[in-house]
């Protein structure tokens, strides 16, 4: 199966690309959306590319690259009553929520802003530029991946 590509959103105040760089590899925990969960559980594979996107900041945009380091497995924060993302309905024997581990690859020399993504030919169908696109984990086509990387390095 060929390499796939993803965009993963995070608020830098909660977890930034610099945080990932400092840790090297980190679980992408706390996702509580079924569509995003299904992508992580069923479709992401080790070595897949990740556009690392900072949201809820000014300006929002893609700040660097990461890759999937471990395929989907149950999110342990769902089982921990002290965790912010605890879900009493999710049990270790019947997990509801899954995560992947993500590895830092590199920071871009500059942010590729959401406004720039919206204005770039070839990215019109990218999920992140669609109105009301709130999904934190999104598939990206190989062409979209190449365009975004070229914008960052251009």
pLDDT for 48: 98
Nearest to 32 by CA among 102, 99, 125: 99
> What backbone phi and psi angles, to 5 degrees, belong to 26?
-150, 145
CB distance 62 to 148 below 8 Å: yes
Nearest to 49 by CA among 68, 28, 30: 68
Residue 131: CB partners within 8 Å, gap ≥ 6? none
| Residue ranges of domains in the chain | 5-153
pLDDT above 90: residue 131? no
For the chain, the first-to-last Cα distance in angstroms comes to 30
What pLDDT, in 10s, does the model give residues 31-87? 999 999 999 999 999 999 999 999 999 999 999 999 999 999 999 999 999 999 999
Q: State the Cα–Cα distance between residues 39 and 91, nearest whole angstrom.
A: 20
What pLDDT, in 10s, does the model give residues 92-109? 999 999 999 999 999 999
pLDDT above 80: residue 125? yes
CB distance 40 to 98 below 8 Å: yes
pLDDT for 1: 67
Length of the chain: 154
CATH of range 5-153; options 3.40.50.720, 3.10.590.10, 3.90.870.10, 3.40.50.460: 3.10.590.10
Q: Averaged over 113-137, what is the pLDDT?
A: 92
pLDDT above 80: residue 124? yes
């Amino acid at each position: 199966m060929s390499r796939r590509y993803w965009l993963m959103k995070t608020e830098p105040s909660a977890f930034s690309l610099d945080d990932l760089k400092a840790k090297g590899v980190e679980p992408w925990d706390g996702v509580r959306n079924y569509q995003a969960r299904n992508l992580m559980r069923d479709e992401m594979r080790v070595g897949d590319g990740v556009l690392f996107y900072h949201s809820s900041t000014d300006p929002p945009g893609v700040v660097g690259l990461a890759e999937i380091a471990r395929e989907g497995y149950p999110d342990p924060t769902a089982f921990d009553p002290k965790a912010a993302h605890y879900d009493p309905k999710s049990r270790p024997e019947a997990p509801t929520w899954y995560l992947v581990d993500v590895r830092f690859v590199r920071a871009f020399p500059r942010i590729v802003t959401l406004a720039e993504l919206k204005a770039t030919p070839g990215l019109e169908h990218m999920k992140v530029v669609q109105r009301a696109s709130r999904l934190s984990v999104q598939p990206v086509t190989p062409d979209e991946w190449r365009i975004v990387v070229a914008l960052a390095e251009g």
